[in-house]
Amino acid sequence: MFIVIDWLDGSGKWTQVKLLEENLKKLGKKVKVLDYPRYWEKSAFFVEKYLNWWYGKNITAKQASIFYALDRFDDSFNLQDDFTSYDYVISNRYVSANMIHQTWKISSESDRNEFLEWLYDLEFNIFGIRKPDKVIFLNVTPETSQKLVLKKSDREYLKDGKKMDLHEEDKNHLTNAYNAAMQVVKKYDWTKIDCEKEGEMRSIEEINNEILKHIL
């Protein structure tokens, strides 16, 4: 089973991915974990420059999506046997990240739908990467996510002492991306996990147990 966990940095994606891996292994399952973008690989070169403002802030949804798609395409050649060799392959971000973070740049609903169809065709048909069996969306508000990002240690892909990348620093981006994400979650029938309760984050274990219920 190929599972994707997605939303903003600070929403707890990586924490949930690693705990899910641990819990599945306890159940005797063979598990492989993926993490995108792969900043340590040359295929993420354009992604890193984009997130460090090298191209400015006017990159289109399709331009930015191609940067990320190339990294996943490159990695797909490493994964050809993994989907049959492992019981679970769990990815921290995937095509869903492009759907969330790039769709908001497009104002009209018809143009958004055209973009999503274009992106789906690019990644799954033209590049031919694997389609996930389930996408788990960690529903955390942008305000909470931004606070949690500031608590993170330095991330290697950010240059010159930056604490936030191009997406995270732009509150308008985060709010609009959240609104777009709600539409995409519904359109593609993703599994939405509400990670906050009465303005506070639920416990890591409680969230993970809910994820497990959806994949076992």
Domain residue ranges of the chain, discontinuous segments joined by +: 2-215
How high is the pLDDT of residue 124?
98
Name residue, tokens 């639920």: 202
Write the CA distances from 93 to 24, 98, 137, 154, 197, integer angstroms: 19, 9, 10, 19, 24
H-helix segments, 58-203? 61-76, 82-85, 95-103, 109-120, 142-150, 166-169, 171-187
CATH number of 2-215: 3.40.50.300
Chain CA centroid to CA 166, Å = 15
Question: pTM to 2 decimals?
Answer: 0.87
How high is the pLDDT of residue 179?
87
How high is the pLDDT of residue 85?
97
Contacts by 121-129, CB closer than 8 A, 24 or more apart: 122/65, 122/66, 122/69, 123/69, 123/72, 123/73, 123/95, 123/98, 124/95, 127/69, 127/72, 127/73, 127/76, 128/76, 129/72, 129/73, 129/76, 129/95
| Residue stretches of the chain with pLDDT short of 70 | 146, 148-171
How high is the pLDDT of residue 139?
94
How high is the pLDDT of residue 10?
73
Q: Compute φ and ψ for 152, nearest 5 degrees.
A: -70, 155
How high is the pLDDT of residue 155?
43
